[in-house]
Structure formats: C-alpha cells, structure tokens
Structure 1
Amino acid sequence: MKKRIAVFSDTHGNLTALQAMYQDSIQQRADEYWFIGDLLMPGPSVRAIWDILQEMKPTVIVRGNWDDLVVRGARGMMDMERPSHIYFARLAQYVAEHSSEKMIDEIARWPMHVTKRVGGLNFGISHNLPWLNMGQDLFPTQASTNFDKLFNVAGEPVDVAIYAHVHHDLLRYGSDERIILNPGAVGEPFNHWQPLQRDLRAHYLMLEVDDIGLAETSFRHVPYSRDQEKKIADNSDLPYRDLYKKMMVTGRAYTHDDDLLTKYNNQYNYADEYRKYALKING
C-alpha cells in the first residue's frame, strides 16, 4: 500500500495561490486531498475556489474559524461590536452575494475533527484543537503540553495529529513522541521573523503513507503571481480590496488592526451595508 496525500489549508480566498498549489499537487502525483479549513475571505474569489475544491474531491474536510465566520455572516448573524466584526461581516456578505445558500449550508456541515486511518496509522485532523477551531493555544512556540491536547479524542489512539490555523508549516512531537504536523497556509503564510516572512509562496504538505508508516513528509512552497492575484481583486467588488492588495505585498494580516479597519469601515459605511443585508435576509 502506498498513498500520496496533499494536505492543505487556509486558502483565504486566494485563487491564484490555490491554482498553483493544485497544479503542483498533480505533478507530485497526489492520490487524495485533505482540506484543513479556512477556505474563503478575505480574498476576492468564491465560486472559482469552490469549483476547484469540488474537483479535488477531498476525502477529509474540517471546518475552520473563518468558515464559521462565513456561515454566521452570510446568515446575517454577525454583530457590529468591534471593527474586526464589521470586517468579517461585510466580507461574509460578499461571499453570500457570490455563492449560494446551498454552498453556505454545506460549509456549515463540515465537522470540527476527523479521524482517518491510512495504512497502519490513525491521523487526527482538525483546524486547531479538536473541539475549538480558534485561539492561539497551538501557536508554534507554545509548550508541548498544549500540543498534547491534539491527541485527546475518543476512539482509537491518534498516531499523527494534523492541524492548521496558525499559518506556519510545522513538524514537532508531543510529550510521548507522537507526531504533529501543520501544512502551513496556501493563501497567507505567516512568520514574525522577517527573512522567513519573505517566503509568500503557497504552502502545503505532501504526505506519502505506506505499509510501514510515513514514507515522505514534504513541505511544499509553490510560487505564484501575487500581481495576478491583485488583478483579480481589482476586477472584483471585494470589500477592503486595497487592504487585501496590501497584504499581497507585505504578507501581513490586518484583521485586528482596529484603527485601520475603523478607517475603512467609516469610509465605506460597511456596518450600515451589512445591517441592511442582515435585515433583508432575516426580516
């Protein structure tokens, strides 16, 4: 038995990065795909990304925190208490206006955690913790005891835990030396160390599992045109478009920059736009 699995996450609406990753995975002879959450937002592409996901036919999908934001926002359930909440809400409205209720419902049904057996290994797969797809408990510099929580799931013991969320590719060990993997981010790789942050290629993980175990663990960094991605944004009606294009240059996220988001929210009346949208769909 030999199976090659492309593990990817955190596309965040970046079509050009996903296309590059997908083509590379074909060249790497991927047999199947595991998607580990955060498909859309803040990037401009919705339907095209969804179509690629359907073409991949992932055998594993788990729901990320931004997937939850898409669902809540598209259903008119977001509050306007903080600048970042307005940001999530208005972007989710954009997703809803460029997708379908059926698609939103399907995302809402994605599980938080999946256990998948391949060969002689059990893989535990979640966006963050098995029961919590948000927070910083699993930031790469956290203590091993935090990562041990990834193995705290019902059923057969997990041999290898895979999570996403922190946008850093990673291989480390739990306290009992079980393996922990993170594929990094397709659309938004992060690193606070600037020489490493310059690598803004599309990151994903290629695994090969055979009868003995992990025959290959390859962290793939695939180049793509960030200028092309900016052109896609320019040709869209994406909210916060200039902010997304800025991220294409700096590689930095501005999700929690309250001052900057407040400037955009006030300039474009995003809170009022979302309130009108929520009122329209909820009555």
Structure 2
Amino acid sequence: MKKKIAVFSDVHGNSSALQAMYKDSIAQGVDEYWFVGDLLMPGPSVNAIWDLVKTMAPTVIVRGNWDDLVVVGTRGQMDMAKPSHVYFGRLAQYVAEHAAPGMVDELAAWPLQVTRQVGPLHFGISHNLPDLNMGQDLFPTNDSANFDQLFVTKPGQPPIDVAIYAHVHHDLLRYGTDERIVLNPGAIGEPFNHWPTLQRDLRAHYLILELDDQGMASTNFRHVAYDRDREKALAAASDLPYQELYQKMMDTGFAYTHDDELLQDYNDRYQYVAEYERFKKNLNK
C-alpha cells in the first residue's frame, strides 16, 4: 500500500493560494485530501473556494475556530462587545450575502476531531485541541506536555500514533513526551512566523504525507508561490469589508484581527456595527 495525502488548513478566504496548492498537489500525484479547518474570512472568496474544496473532496474535514465564527456571524448571533467581534460579524455578513444555499449549515456540521487509520498508523486530526478549536495551548514553542493533549482518546479507541492540528499557522514536526509525532501543515492563506526572515515566506504552506505499509515514508512540507497581486485585485473588485486591511496583509503577511484600535477606527469610519445590526434585524423578519 502506498498513498499520498495532502493535508491543508487555514485558507481564510484566499482562493489564489488554494488554487496554487491544488495545482501543486496534482503535480505531486496526491491521492487524497485532509482539511484541518478555517476555510473562509477575511479574504474575498466564498463560493470559488467552496467549489474547489468540493472538487478536492476531502476524506477528512474538521471545523476550525473561524468556521465557528462564520456560523455564528451568518446566523446573526455575533455580539458587538469588542472591535474584533464587529470584525468577525461584518465579515460573516459578507459570507452570508455571497454563500451558496446550504453552505453554512454544512460547515456547521463539521466535527471538531476525526480519527483515521492508514496502514499501521492511527491519526488524530483536529484544528487545535480535540475538543477545543481555539486558544494558544499548542503554539509551536510550548512545552511538549501541552501537545500530549492531542493523544487523549475515549475508552475503547485505539491509541493515536500521529496527531495533526492546524490553527497556529506554522508548519512543524515535533514530538509529545512519549515521542509520538505531532504534525502541522502550516497555513494556505496566512502563514506566520515571529522571526522576520522566516515571515517573508508568504507562499501557500501545506503538507504531503506519503504512507505505506510500514508507516510514514515521507513528510513533504510544501511552500507554493501564487500571485498575491491577483488576490489583492480580487479583494478590490469585491464588496469585502476591511478590504484595505486584507490587501495590506497580502503585502506584509500580518493579520490585524486583534488590533482593537485599528479595527475600531474602521468600524467607526464605515459604520460596521450599524450594518451588522441591520443584517441581524433582516434575518429576524
């Protein structure tokens, strides 16, 4: 048995990056896809990404924290307590206004964690922790003991040999305290690293696992170039809120999700709170 599996995550609305990754995966002879969460927002693409994922037909899909934000926001349930909440809500409103029927409901039904056996190996796949798709427990520089949480199983389940997670936008291979393997494919749409030289690599990051009867024959961390100017043009041609910030992110690689002062300025300037409140009111009619 030989199989190549492309593991990818954190697309964040960037269809240009996802298309480049998909083209590269075909050239690499991939047999199967596993998606590890965070499909949409803050980028401009909605249906184009959804259609491409349907074409890829992942055999594993788990729900990320931004997928939850899409669901909550599109259903008019986002509170406006913080500038970042307004940001999430207004972006989710954009998704709601463009999404194909049934998309959000399907996304809401994705599980938090999936286990799969391939050859002799049992994989545990989750966006972050198996029962929590947010938080910083698994930041790459944290202690190995934190990563042991990925290997917790329910009674009767076989032990997990390899844990795969996403969320932190860093590609990595490291170990739990008992030397079981932890993998992260990195981010398709928003790779990140605090070290400035490494942060300059803004290509689409994903992982190809080659599996055989003995286990993992190879781990291939792929960084695929794509046209970032094209992605900026897609944003400019759309009615995407915060599109100036998205275009800036295409240049710098930095996200502005938690910059409350900057977001507050945009929220006030474009009256995003009032827009989202009108959206919620229309949902309830």
TM-score by length of 2: 0.99
1:153, CA displacement in angstroms?
A: 1.9
What do the CA deviations read for 1:56-111 (whole angstroms, capped 9, x no partner)? 00000000000000000000000000000000000000001001341000000000
User: In the alignment, which residue of structure 1 is the partner of 2:173?
Assistant: 171
Q: What are the equivalent positions in structure 2 for 1:262-277 lying under 5 Å apart? A: 262-277=264-279
Counterpart Cα distance in 2 of 1:187 and 1:198: 14
1:247 aligned onto 2:249: yes
Do 2:119 and 2:211's aligned partners in 1 also have CA atoms closer than 8 Å?
A: yes
Q: What are the equivalent positions in structure 2 for 1:28-43 lying under 5 Å apart? A: 28-43=28-43
TM-score by length of 1: 0.99
Do 1:7 and 1:207's aligned partners in 2 also have CA atoms closer than 8 Å?
A: yes
- Segments of 5+ residues of structure 2 without an aligned counterpart are none
Task: Name the SS for the 2:39 alignment partner.
Answer: coil
User: In the alignment, which residue of structure 2 is the partner of 1:59?
Assistant: 59
- Segments of 5+ residues of structure 1 without an aligned counterpart are none
User: In the alignment, which residue of structure 2 is the partner of 1:236?
Assistant: 238
Query: Over aligned residue pairs, what C-alpha RMSD do you find?
Result: 0.6
Q: Look up the equivalent residue of 2:106 and give its one-letter code.
A: E
Counterpart Cα distance in 1 of 2:180 and 2:28: 26
User: In the alignment, which residue of structure 2 is the partner of 1:103?
Assistant: 103
User: In the alignment, which residue of structure 2 is the partner of 1:117?
Assistant: 117
Q: What are the equivalent positions in structure 2 for 1:121-270 lying under 5 Å apart? A: 121-154=121-154, 155-270=157-272
1:35, CA displacement in angstroms?
A: 0.2
Counterpart Cα distance in 1 of 2:284 and 2:77: 9
What do the CA deviations read for 1:221-261 (whole angstroms, capped 9, x no partner)? 00001101000001100000000000000100100000100
Do 1:161 and 1:179's aligned partners in 2 also have CA atoms closer than 8 Å?
A: yes
Do 1:190 and 1:252's aligned partners in 2 also have CA atoms closer than 8 Å?
A: yes
Q: What are the equivalent positions in structure 2 for 1:41-80 lying under 5 Å apart? A: 41-80=41-80
1:125, CA displacement in angstroms?
A: 0.1
1:279, CA displacement in angstroms?
A: 1.1
Percent identity over the alignment is 70
Runs of at least 4 residues off by over 4 Å: none
Do 2:47 and 2:100's aligned partners in 1 also have CA atoms closer than 8 Å?
A: no
Counterpart Cα distance in 2 of 1:153 and 1:264: 44
User: In the alignment, which residue of structure 2 is the partner of 1:17?
Assistant: 17
1:218, CA displacement in angstroms?
A: 0.5
Q: Look up the equivalent residue of 2:224 and give its one-letter code.
A: V
Counterpart Cα distance in 1 of 2:101 and 2:283: 11
Counterpart Cα distance in 2 of 1:114 and 1:73: 25
Do 1:130 and 1:153's aligned partners in 2 also have CA atoms closer than 8 Å?
A: no
